[in-house]
Amino acid sequence: MIRLEAVCRTYRLGDQPVKALDRVDLDIDAGAYVSVMGPSGSGKSTLLNVIGLLDTPDSGRYQLEGREMTCLDEEARAAERNRRIGFVFQAYHLIDRLSARENIELPLVLAGMAPSERRPLVDDIVDRLGLTERAGHLPRQLSGGQRQRVAIARAVIRKPALLLADEPTGNLDSHSGAEVIELLEELNDQGITLLVVTHDPNIGRRAGRRLRMEDGRITADRSGTETGDALR
Amino acid sequence: MRFADLLQFNGRLLLRQRFRTAMSLLAMAVGVAAVLLLTGLGEGARQFVLNEFSLLGSDVLIMLPGRKETTGGMPPITGEGTRDITLEDVEALGRLNGVRRVAPLIVGNAQTHVGGRSRELLTVGTSEVFFAIRKLKTLQGRPLPVMPLKRAEPVCILGTDARRELFGARPALGEWLRIGDRRFRVIGILDDRGESLGMEMSEAILIPVAAAQQIFDVQGMFRVFLQVRPGSPMEDVRGEILALMQQRHGGERDVTLITQDALLGAFDDILRLLTLGVGAIAAISLLVAGILIMNITLISVSQRTREIGLLKALGASAATVRLLFVCEALQLALLGCLIGIASGYGLLALGHWLWPLLPFVVSLWALGAALLIAIATALLFAWLPASRAARLPPVLALQGMQGGAR
């Protein structure tokens, strides 16, 4: 489903070029549950952004669901993001003047869907994520856990094939964090491909496939059940 | 993104920032209202003047003593004083083929006494023809009687204000009054028609032209009104009149003939230019409002950097983001325009109510121009910040950074 070949991405930090991705090769199957861990600045967020079409690689190839992504222009990338990819951010990124429901509806609005078509979709997802009572509230009236649920609802409303979560529990207490992770895993069970970037080893180890990044390279790629190594 | 959704999305934003929205709406509204008001006033003044002058009728020529060249060049140095236009001249003019009727006019200020009261009034010496040409009517009594021009019949017609000043609440018709050292009987009261051609007729007193000659001790006419016979070409009659006067004044062409059209044309041009001028000044305030909208949009873009990043992540294309911000500015501008139009019309209506004499008209061209300028400035000035928003790289924008470099 995702195929990266020799993908490079270099940032300029002042005069210093920083290699965020250094010839990264990666294959991810549809429906996989992948965690990406590593120290700060190792390039995990950049990897997520490149896969999420928010960032473009300097060189290398990127295929999503068998389609070449590297040659798309910004308009086409925006359309792909809308249709195939859902994002969950550490800082939720909800629009504070819109109610929970309107935030969830936003991707459909941007896609130009008619209100009558939008309503049942939003009703359904609000119901599924247990947000019915909170749907009319503004983000500031919600708890952190509820906000992240709203953000997840927004990420999956378009039924994307790929869900990208960048530190989804970073701003949450352990209890809410666990709930959010369970929700993401539940969605993964229903078939969505899930990619989680995290600092938290307890979360990272739950994934079926665990990547470790350092200096822009993937240094470890483990699948299957947990072994003693990953705990260290 | 659907249009209705776009409007709603921006509407929420504008409602959220009420103060900022109110301020930019105010700026826009003031600009539009100013354009409407000033052009409305100018246009009203123009129509007022035109109405006043067209009362004269387009078949009337006005003769002035002395030659006033409108073609430029040196004034004649050799000219001895111009000759008066005498009553004999007037009578001769009346006998011309192309002239239907002639009204002489002598105007001056004279002390008028009734009992103990004394007022200085505009005293107009003329004939019954003047009433016909100027379409003057009497409220009470009758106009000047038909009689030979040289007869100084001791009768007068009073304007309404003149009547009030002299007689107060007492009846005036049939009473005697004194102008200078001559006595006149009031035979009529003028219908109040306000000012026309710079003469406040309601404060005037009309007497036979020969009587005015005696009071002011003059022979020459101040003006002569000539009405052209229907069907006679104006230019021919003009030539006829000038030829006659030249012949009567010993070969000297020492009178000036003005047509109403020439007068009106000059006034019309001046007032139209004036209206345009004040309209343009008002339009500058619209430009200022446009710059304000640009600043608002710039602030909006920098405050909403993260939101722009998010919208892009959710699938908004650069074009959609630009559209969002341009639309926000347009919505502000249009709403401001509506408020401005409403208040502009309101103020003009109020003005018309306060001064019914002055016609207040909103010319459609001013309305159209105001709208056009408002929308064009909003579009123009919002385009730059909106494009900046559209160009923001999503990754940086999500982190709240606006740096162009990636």
Asked whether residue B220 is assigned to any structural domain, the reply reads: yes
* Chain A residues touching residue B12 (CB < 8 angstroms): 97-98
Min Cα distance A76 → chain B (Å) is: 8
Band the pLDDT of B103: cuts 50, 70, 90: very high
Domain count, chain B: 2
**CA pair distance B41, A58, nearest whole angstrom:** 64
pLDDT number for residue B287: 83
Residue of A nearest to B397 (CA): A54
Q: Do B247 and B285 sit in the same domain of this protein?
A: no
- A to B CB pairs, distance under 8 Å: 69
Question: Which single residue is written with the structure tokens 């906000």?
Answer: A147
pLDDT in tens, A164-179: 999 999 889 989 999 9
pLDDT number for residue B135: 79
pLDDT number for residue B378: 86
* Chain B residues touching residue A106 (CB < 8 angstroms): 311, 314
pLDDT number for residue B264: 77
pLDDT number for residue A209: 94
Check whether B309 has a pLDDT greater than 80.
Answer: yes
Check whether B75 has a pLDDT greater than 60.
Answer: no
* Chain A residues touching residue B9 (CB < 8 angstroms): 109
Report percent pLDDT > 90 for chain B.
24
* Chain A residues touching residue B315 (CB < 8 angstroms): 78-79, 81-83, 107, 110-111, 158
Low-confidence residues of chain A, pLDDT below 70?
Answer: 225-232
Mutate to test the interface with B, among A110, A113, A158, A197 (most CBs of B within 10 A): A110
pLDDT number for residue B198: 54
**CA pair distance A123, A11, nearest whole angstrom:** 42
**What ipTM did this prediction achieve?**
0.90
Instruction: Give me the architecture of the A33-57+72-227 domain, per CATH.
Output: 3-Layer(aba) Sandwich (3.40)
C-alpha of B61 from chain center: 23
Cβ partners under 8 Å of residue B264, min gap 6: B50, B53, B54
pLDDT number for residue A60: 93
Q: Do B220 and B96 sit in the same domain of this protein?
A: yes
**CA pair distance A62, A26, nearest whole angstrom:** 9
pLDDT number for residue A232: 41
pLDDT number for residue A50: 94
Give the three-state DSSP class for A210: strand
Q: Do B127 and B205 sit in the same domain of this protein?
A: yes
pLDDT in tens, B328-380: 889 989 999 999 999 999 998 888 888 877 777 777 888 888 888 888 888 88
Phi and psi at B385, nearest 5°, equal -60, -35
Give the lowest-confidence range in B74-83, B170-179, B180-189, B249-258: B74-83
Q: Are A211 and A220 in contact (CB under 8 A)?
A: yes
Contact between chains at A75 and B306 (C-beta distance less than 8 A): no
Contact between chains at A49 and B310 (C-beta distance less than 8 A): no
Question: Which residue among A55, A79, A110 places its CB closest to the CB of B1?
Answer: A110
Check whether B7 has a pLDDT greater than 60.
Answer: yes
Higher pLDDT, B26 or B294: B26
Residue of B nearest to A80 (CA): B315
pLDDT in tens, A123-149: 999 998 889 999 999 999 999 999 999
Q: Do B140 and B248 sit in the same domain of this protein?
A: yes
Using only C-alpha atoms, chain A has a radius of gyration, in whole angstroms, of: 18
Band the pLDDT of B104: cuts 50, 70, 90: very high
**What would the DSSP string read from start to end of B255-290?**
EEEEEHHHHHHHHHHHHHHHHHHHHHHHHHHHHHHH
Question: Which residue among A12, A49, A107 places its CB closest to the CB of B315?
Answer: A107
pLDDT in tens, A11-29: 887 788 888 999 999 999 9
Phi and psi at A230, nearest 5°, equal -65, -20
Mutate to test the interface with B, among A58, A95, A138, A159 (most CBs of B within 10 A): A95
DSSP state of B75: P
Question: Which residue among A52, A75, A107 places its CB closest to the CB of B319?
Answer: A75
Q: Which residues of B touch A (CB under 8 A)?
A: 1-2, 4-5, 9, 12-13, 16, 306-307, 309-320, 393-395, 398, 405-406
- The H or E element that residue A33 is part of is strand A33-37
Q: Do B318 and B187 sit in the same domain of this protein?
A: no
pLDDT number for residue B133: 83
Band the pLDDT of B55: cuts 50, 70, 90: low
DSSP state of B358: S
Contact between chains at A110 and B315 (C-beta distance less than 8 A): yes
Of B88-97, B274-283, B392-401, give the range with the top mean pLDDT: B88-97
Give the three-state DSSP class for A81: helix
Asked whether residue B75 is assigned to any structural domain, the reply reads: no
Q: Where are the domains of chain A?
A: 33-57+72-227
Band the pLDDT of B81: cuts 50, 70, 90: low
pLDDT in tens, B35-50: 888 888 888 888 877 7
Q: Classify residue A35 as left (phi > 0), alpha (psi -120 to 50) or beta.
A: beta
Task: Please state, rounded to an integer, the average pLDDT across all residues of chain B.
Answer: 85
Please give the average per-residue pLDDT across B310-329, as a whole number. 91
Higher pLDDT, A224 or B110: B110
Query: Residue B191's CB: how many other CB atoms inside 10 A?
Result: 15
Asked whether residue B246 is assigned to any structural domain, the reply reads: yes
Q: Do B19 and B124 sit in the same domain of this protein?
A: no
Check whether B194 has a pLDDT greater than 60.
Answer: no
Query: Which domain-ending residue is among B253, B277, B304?
Result: B253
Q: Do B271 and B186 sit in the same domain of this protein?
A: no
Query: Which domain-ending residue is among B253, B279, B305?
Result: B253
Q: Do B18 and B99 sit in the same domain of this protein?
A: no
Give the three-state DSSP class for B122: strand
Min Cα distance B19 → chain A (Å) is: 16
Question: Domain range holding B137?
Answer: 83-253
* Chain B residues touching residue A93 (CB < 8 angstroms): 306, 309-310, 313, 398
pLDDT number for residue B406: 35
Q: Are B224 and B209 in contact (CB under 8 A)?
A: no
Band the pLDDT of B404: cuts 50, 70, 90: very low
pLDDT number for residue B65: 86
Structure tokens at B70: 């409108």
Q: Do B275 and B233 sit in the same domain of this protein?
A: no
Question: Which residue among A55, A110, A114 places its CB closest to the CB of B311?
Answer: A110
Contact between chains at B315 and A154 (C-beta distance less than 8 A): no
Q: Do B97 and B238 sit in the same domain of this protein?
A: yes
Check whether B381 has a pLDDT greater than 90.
Answer: no
Q: Do B180 and B326 sit in the same domain of this protein?
A: no
* Chain A residues touching residue B317 (CB < 8 angstroms): 74-75, 78-79
Check whether B67 has a pLDDT greater than 50.
Answer: yes
Does residue A83 belong to the interface with chain B, where contact is any CB pair within 8 Å? Answer: yes
CA distances from A20 to A68, A134, A214, B76 (A): 22, 40, 9, 94
Residue of A nearest to B2 (CA): A112
Mutate to test the interface with A, among B314, B320, B399 (most CBs of A within 10 A): B314
Contact between chains at A89 and B398 (C-beta distance less than 8 A): yes
Contact between chains at B314 and A74 (C-beta distance less than 8 A): no
Phi and psi at A189, nearest 5°, equal -60, -30
Min Cα distance B372 → chain A (Å) is: 29
* Chain A residues touching residue B399 (CB < 8 angstroms): none
Does residue A101 belong to the interface with chain B, where contact is any CB pair within 8 Å? Answer: no
Question: Which residue among A49, A78, A87 places its CB closest to the CB of B316?
Answer: A78
Number of helices and strands (H, E) in chain A?
8, 10
pLDDT number for residue A95: 93
Higher pLDDT, B9 or B356: B9
Q: Do B229 and B119 sit in the same domain of this protein?
A: yes
Buried b (16+ CB within 10 A) or exposed e, A24-48: bebebeeebbbbbbbeeebbbbbbb
pLDDT in tens, B116-148: 888 898 899 999 998 888 878 888 899 999 999
Please give the average per-residue pLDDT across B243-259, as a whole number. 86
Report percent pLDDT > 90 for chain A.
77
pLDDT number for residue B197: 55
